Structure 1
């Protein structure tokens, strides 16, 4: 006799921005940046093994630069290509972060802890860039999946990113290429350690993008819980 009583309709899923395509691009360009830094490391090893020419480093001081060897010239090209890859990776990553941040605000119903200004400036302002970008990503995950633990890859990514910055040859605060060449001749191990940190940050960043995207795809794809890679 209760056939006429219908169960309450489920609450509508809030309108969210699509994130799968942005996540795939972010993963692809993080991988490309990691490969670019791996190639850079190979060239630094080649420079170290070849040894500094008798004429000294490329930067002779007081504005004087000697002609580059073929290996040094190729390193300049590798560095330029890596710089372009890193710049595009940064743009694509921020576009993805803007999308998932918007969705997190919709899902949680509250304003983000950091304003939109910090989404971009937080990476550039000294001291603030030590914690704000990580905080933005952490907030996105927590607002999208309340009560769930943050992915372990988040801290791994951030620690390796900071090591890359502190080294002076990371993705953002790079030395002049001729100075890096001189360091490759005299002290390659610090360069290679920095390269390893940047490559590791790229790999961990891929895991972060996948983890954050997965929790939002549960809503975008009708409540499906992802146990594997969503992108």
Structure 2
């Protein structure tokens, strides 16, 4: 089966990249825990201010809590950006490999493995379409060369977790930016902490997705060339 335009003739191992992405996702989880703890502590102080408006949140423990929360947010952002860059590199490599394994099941070109993340609104769907093609192409065929499928449970959980986390974060940040009164700020801080908890879950699911796809591609590459088009089509 001919490879897609710009694809090589042999797959490149994503193993090294997958371990690096996994390590950075671990940093994301740690930063999420950091910012959740700092956020909940800050929320408790704002609730005290809401109950007793004579307290000054901008001095003493309140000021230190604000500074800690700001630091946690900076660490979280840095961890997310570093992870996003390396994840996209890994994602693009696995998409290139998928073109070699089984070009016929690819719904979008390799460039969308990068560009799809940056298109407003469409980034809630395009990367999933790319990932679905990667998943299907990475499945090791039957010993007789026949086509087989593997449930996309891991893929769907990862993508669902990512989308829910992204939407929850946007809602939480919007409420935080609109909050003015102490109780409003305390409520917004709780919502932000909940969104950060969802981000943590999404990061864990991303680890599962990365490790699963990497393992599948290793097995697929070891199996040898893709079956002939006629045989592949007969088993779909």
Q: TM-score, normalised by structure 2?
A: 0.73
**Shift in Å, 1:178:** 7.0
Unaligned runs of 5+ in 2: 1-8, 140-146, 225-236
Q: Which residue of 1 aligns with 2:164?
A: 163
Q: Which residue of 2 aligns with 1:101?
A: 95
Mark the CA change 1:118 to 1:184 in structure 2 (over 3 Å): closer, same or farther.
farther
Greater share of residues in helix: 2
Q: Which residue of 1 aligns with 2:13?
A: 18
Mark the CA change 1:174 to 1:49 in structure 2 (over 3 Å): closer, same or farther.
closer
**Cα distance in 2, alignment partners of residues 135 and 22 from structure 1:** 21
**Cα distance in 1, alignment partners of residues 21 and 124 from structure 2:** 22
Q: Which residue of 2 aligns with 1:65?
A: none
Q: Which residue of 2 aligns with 1:86?
A: 80
Unaligned runs of 5+ in 1: 1-13, 59-67, 225-231
Determine if the alignment matches structure 1 residue 149 to structure 2 residue 150. Answer: yes
Q: TM-score, normalised by structure 1?
A: 0.74
| SS of aligned partner of 2:118 | coil
Do the aligned partners of 2:35 and 2:193 also contact (CA within 8 Å) in 1?
Answer: no
1:215-230 equivalences under 5 Å are 215-220=216-221, 222-223=222-223
Partner deviation per Cα, 1:79-134 (whole Å, 9 max, x = no partner):
01110100010011001111111111011144832234422332232321221111
C-alpha root-mean-square deviation of aligned residues, in Å?
3.0
Q: Which residue of 1 aligns with 2:3?
A: none
1:1-231 equivalences under 5 Å are 15-51=10-46, 53=49, 54=53, 69-110=63-104, 112-145=106-139, 147-169=148-170, 185-220=186-221, 222-223=222-223
